[in-house]
Amino acid sequence: MVFNNSGEKETYIFQESGILIISLNGKVTNATWQYIPANKSLIISGNEQSYMVHAAYVDNILFVLQVDGTKECAFLIDENNRQNFQPKSYNDIKKHFEVKEQKLLQKQTTEYLKTESLVKQKEKERKAKRRKEEKEKRIEQLRFKADGIRHVNGWMQIFIFVVSWILFSILVSIVCSFEKTPWLVAILLPLIGGPCFVFFIPCYMITLIKNKKVKDWKKKYPNDAVNQYL
């Protein structure tokens, strides 16, 4: 079935032998058709005239043939899908295209919105990830700075340990120099006093120095962000 561009309904019967039967309002015309693979066109001959046409549009229902070099066209309806689409006029064909175009536009709009939503979501995730990385980097920098503020020079720590050891040695010498020093004291003093003077007291003094440095820093810079990590 065909609607030409004049709005008239025709019936085209293509036969494998190359014969084309055209029916217009009951009037039958014999013609021939030939497919040209080189340019994917059809040559339709009849009434001492021949036309070369090509496919301008194809879907599962309509097949639009356009005459080469012109705007003239004919709308063929696939007989296999005729039950799904039975136009009675040229306006029905136009409506078919309008509905199809509307559905296509709606589909494109939906896909665009979906794509836009995905793009925005990815951008949101990317920004959130970047903010998280920046925050973690900032925290790492603040912690490193806090360690630097609390840091006690290595030579100072060695000096404290050496002084503690010297003081402990002097104390042991003084205690042991007394003739009446109980033997139990002479034994327990190195065992108990040794760890205290050599380890616990120096560590405590270093901690006091660190706390003093932190206190001085907070007093000097009360609004510094590093204070929460001191």
Give the total number of structural domains in the chain: 3
Q: Of 110, 135, 160, which residue constitutes the final position of a domain?
A: 135
Tokens encoding 196: 């205290």
Helix (H) or strand (E) holding 70: none
53 found inside a domain: yes
Q: What is the mean pLDDT of the chain?
A: 81
Q: How far apart are CA 162 and CA 202, in angstroms?
A: 9
Q: Which of 2-6, 12-16, 93-97 has the highest mean pLDDT?
A: 12-16
Asked whether the predicted pLDDT for residue 138 surpasses 60, the reply is yes
Comparing CA positions, the residue from 104, 31, 106, 17 lying closest to residue 74 is 31
Q: What is the spatial distance between Cα 211 and Cα 192, in angstroms, rounded to a whole number?
A: 27
The C-alpha atoms of residue 18 and residue 148 are separated, in whole angstroms, by 94
The pLDDT of 57-68, averaged and rounded, is 81
pLDDT in tens, 120-132: 999 999 999 999 9
- What is residue 123's predicted lDDT score, i.e. its pLDDT? 92
Range of the domain at 102: 89-135
Residue 185 lies in a domain: yes
Which of 76-85, 99-108, 114-123 is predicted most confidently?
A: 114-123
Residue 92, pLDDT score:
74
pTM to 2 decimal places? 0.44
